[in-house]
Structure 1
């Protein structure tokens, strides 16, 4: 007996479609999975659209999740893969700017018309592999054009998050936004204020982790959308920098070049840290009256506070906020690494964010002065320190201080910190050495 093939998201969706067809219903693959397949990309999810009502879907697939049944959506799990099965429908008015007030089950033609962009309005019959196109999506795919279905303003008024989705799709697909669609985005950008921070955050994050993230940032700025959720970025436009250190131009230009230099799979925290590393340059900018030199004293510390405020406003997870603000707070310290004592350098390099900070530093320099000496130095030190932990287990602990007659108190931390420094510097190699150092230290204080 041959071993059966594993169920994939695509095969799971095809199996469900076959069962729907066998029961007398129309069942098509719909939306993004069709778009991505036609572009030669591996779709992440496979959604189905069907003539079966939610009640009929639930009867056919008992135990499915009917959370979205009011809008004609049922989540069916098959082979370990959840598939969204949506009934062909026409949406009523959108008074809340997100959900239709009513839903009428309808035809594939009507269902395609309610979707956001033509490239997302395609169906595919899995039985014949025929693409079913009621909205001109195939020609827009071939022209690499993002076009709203029907009247653009109506599509965006139904759900203002579609404004962010327009930028996200243009960025991730590297498509041009059709003129009437783009003009509607610009006109209706202020309506993004109706959308929850969490939904904006999710679309923004997808834009930032796209390889075309710098273009995505430009689109957010040029559309007016960035003003609705991160207006601090606008102050970086035209914020001049010292030409001897930043021949590339103002803070915004510097930032977008850095974003462009990041790798294709740069993690979100790194992308956010790059975007926000100089966010406090505008409020800290000073110009020396004597020589005209531009300075940004303290922009790293203030930038860390601003970054944390911005990310909290967008409801990012606490760990993301902590990591990004920490990276912003330290980005200026890289200029001092060659002067650091070994212990301080090891502590600096032991941070959980250090590798991401290294990449931030690399693109910071590469986009401006081109200096690589500190980066090269740190790479050399990483090799040098590779054979042992940067921060090894301490040779002595507070228990040793108690055994030597000390009473627990604030001095404990200072003494143990000094002992660790001696260890990191290589002057204490064994526990015996450390205990002898402790005894001498305590005797010198009495």
Structure 2
């Protein structure tokens, strides 16, 4: 049924197990190999010497070793189990409860090969899911990334696990482990469907409860979806257009309106619903949520900054486009990608082709300005120059003057140090003139 790729040489007496065996059987080349061997340390060192990678112990007490091989390929080595069938039957899903011998004989005690052919995700047992509740999140991730259908009894068991976690009768997995599942899910082109699946199975409430606050919150105007589904659709629009979007941009797009439920109000004059300040509140919430999931601080900071900036006014002309680029250069082009995904996810009664066309023209202006000046120009003056020119002591005023010159330079109003000095002197004269 599947055309299977070549495999690396098997360690002596070793078995290929779990997801690596699954991927090979379905015709995909594994990137991470899991080996069960007689001597993990020896097998790891031997492979590293042959492949040119590095071998190190993951857990010396249990005898777990890893090799980072060239090309980003990873090999993990664990001791051969005393009872292979018993070991496989303790795994999460039948498609992972597989082992492959060097002769390509498949050990399949739970019918995983039939489930592979049927593209079906079926648990080995509910007890196994409850033994490690992270497997509930993994069910969603595998369903999306492998394109498998969650078998009915397995889906019901996942729902029961989610209920038990919510009730506190099962302990929540460590945040880092949930993060890894979500990151793997979010890296897939169909990540938006995965978010909806998490909600459907009761897992989103255990993971990103703030995101759920937008369920059923009607927006009107440009929006045809409630706040929650708009964020999910924006993620879909982003990945359809920019499949190379990095994790921070993906998170920011999903969470860009997470502040709306907590800022919902009504304009007393028009009676229309408002969400004033949702960008600021949303940025704070996004940072809290992603920090709780133990994401890297750089990802948290960038995602929060993008959420805070997503309501930026797009320019109406080329001069404003240059100013837009100057003020938001560190966020570009990701901010434009987020704004475009946000706009394309909005198809409410106020949205029509002319408005969408104008929006795209504004984005094109910014892109043209960014192409014209991809890097910030070298400063024309130093802080010392400014202090001498304006007779200033070190302090905020020096920074303000340098920023004013930098913006004037980005707008093409000053091009030389002499013009920069004249600009500051004219600005000072204007500020000191009687009103």
Is the Cα–Cα contact under 8 Å of residues 315 and 366 in structure 2 kept in the other structure?
no
Per-residue CA deviation, residues 400-446 of structure 1 (Å, 9 max, x unaligned), is 12333433333212222222232222221112222333445556659
Question: Could you say which residue in structure 2 is the equivalent of 1:171?
Answer: 144
Deviation at 1:75, TM superposition (A): 3.4
SS at match of 2:324: helix
Question: Could you say which residue in structure 1 is the equivalent of 2:66?
Answer: 75
Deviation at 1:193, TM superposition (A): 4.6
Deviation at 1:139, TM superposition (A): 0.9
Deviation at 1:71, TM superposition (A): 4.1
SS at match of 2:213: helix
Query: Against the structure 1 CA distance between its residues 302 and 345, is the aligned structure 2 distance closer, same or farther, given a 3 Å change threshold?
Result: same
> Does residue 434 of structure 1 match 2:434?
no
> Does residue 251 of structure 1 match 2:227?
yes
Question: Could you say which residue in structure 2 is the equivalent of 1:196?
Answer: 174
Query: Against the structure 1 CA distance between its residues 59 and 398, is the aligned structure 2 distance closer, same or farther, given a 3 Å change threshold?
Result: closer
Deviation at 1:59, TM superposition (A): 10
Is the Cα–Cα contact under 8 Å of residues 209 and 265 in structure 1 kept in the other structure?
no
Count of residue correspondences = 405
> Does residue 209 of structure 1 match 2:187?
yes
Is the Cα–Cα contact under 8 Å of residues 22 and 98 in structure 2 kept in the other structure?
yes
Per-residue CA deviation, residues 131-185 of structure 1 (Å, 9 max, x unaligned), is 3322211111111111111x22x11222121111111111111211111211111
CA–CA distance in structure 2, aligned partners of residues 132 and 314 of structure 1: 37
Deviation at 1:330, TM superposition (A): 1.0
Alignment equivalent of 1:44, drawn from 28, 31, 52: 31
Alignment equivalent of 1:337, drawn from 311, 315, 331: 315
Is the Cα–Cα contact under 8 Å of residues 96 and 112 in structure 2 kept in the other structure?
yes
SS at match of 1:75: strand
Is the Cα–Cα contact under 8 Å of residues 383 and 398 in structure 2 kept in the other structure?
yes
Query: Against the structure 1 CA distance between its residues 230 and 140, is the aligned structure 2 distance closer, same or farther, given a 3 Å change threshold?
Result: same
Query: Against the structure 1 CA distance between its residues 374 and 349, is the aligned structure 2 distance closer, same or farther, given a 3 Å change threshold?
Result: farther
SS at match of 1:386: helix
Query: Against the structure 1 CA distance between its residues 41 and 359, is the aligned structure 2 distance closer, same or farther, given a 3 Å change threshold?
Result: farther
Alignment equivalent of 2:113, drawn from 138, 153, 157: 138
Question: Could you say which residue in structure 2 is the equivalent of 1:308?
Answer: 287
Deviation at 1:9, TM superposition (A): 11
List gaps (5 residues or longer) in structure 2: none
TM-score (norm 2): 0.84
Is the Cα–Cα contact under 8 Å of residues 248 and 302 in structure 2 kept in the other structure?
yes
Question: Could you say which residue in structure 1 is the equivalent of 2:219?
Answer: 241
Deviation at 1:55, TM superposition (A): 8.2
Query: Against the structure 1 CA distance between its residues 57 and 408, is the aligned structure 2 distance closer, same or farther, given a 3 Å change threshold?
Result: closer
SS at match of 1:363: helix
Query: Against the structure 1 CA distance between its residues 82 and 201, is the aligned structure 2 distance closer, same or farther, given a 3 Å change threshold?
Result: closer
Say what the alpha-carbon RMSD is for the aligned residues.
Answer: 3.0
> Does residue 160 of structure 1 match 2:133?
yes
TM-score (norm 1): 0.82
Deviation at 1:37, TM superposition (A): 2.0
Range that drifts further, 58-67 or 396-405:
58-67
Is the Cα–Cα contact under 8 Å of residues 35 and 75 in structure 2 kept in the other structure?
yes
SS at match of 1:29: strand
Per-residue CA deviation, residues 289-337 of structure 1 (Å, 9 max, x unaligned), is 665422111111110111111111111111111101111111111x443
> Does residue 84 of structure 1 match 2:76?
yes
Question: Could you say which residue in structure 1 is the equivalent of 2:373?
Answer: 388
Deviation at 1:386, TM superposition (A): 2.0
> Does residue 322 of structure 1 match 2:293?
no
Question: Could you say which residue in structure 2 is the equivalent of 1:294?
Answer: 273
Is the Cα–Cα contact under 8 Å of residues 205 and 212 in structure 2 kept in the other structure?
yes
Query: Against the structure 1 CA distance between its residues 72 and 145, is the aligned structure 2 distance closer, same or farther, given a 3 Å change threshold?
Result: farther
List gaps (5 residues or longer) in structure 1: 1-7, 22-26, 90-105
CA–CA distance in structure 1, aligned partners of residues 412 and 69 of structure 2: 59
Question: Could you say which residue in structure 1 is the equivalent of 2:358?
Answer: 373
Per-residue CA deviation, residues 6-63 of structure 1 (Å, 9 max, x unaligned), is xx9952xx25x2xx23xxxxx221111121223332311111124x266886898999
Query: Against the structure 1 CA distance between its residues 373 and 410, is the aligned structure 2 distance closer, same or farther, given a 3 Å change threshold?
Result: same
SS at match of 1:194: coil
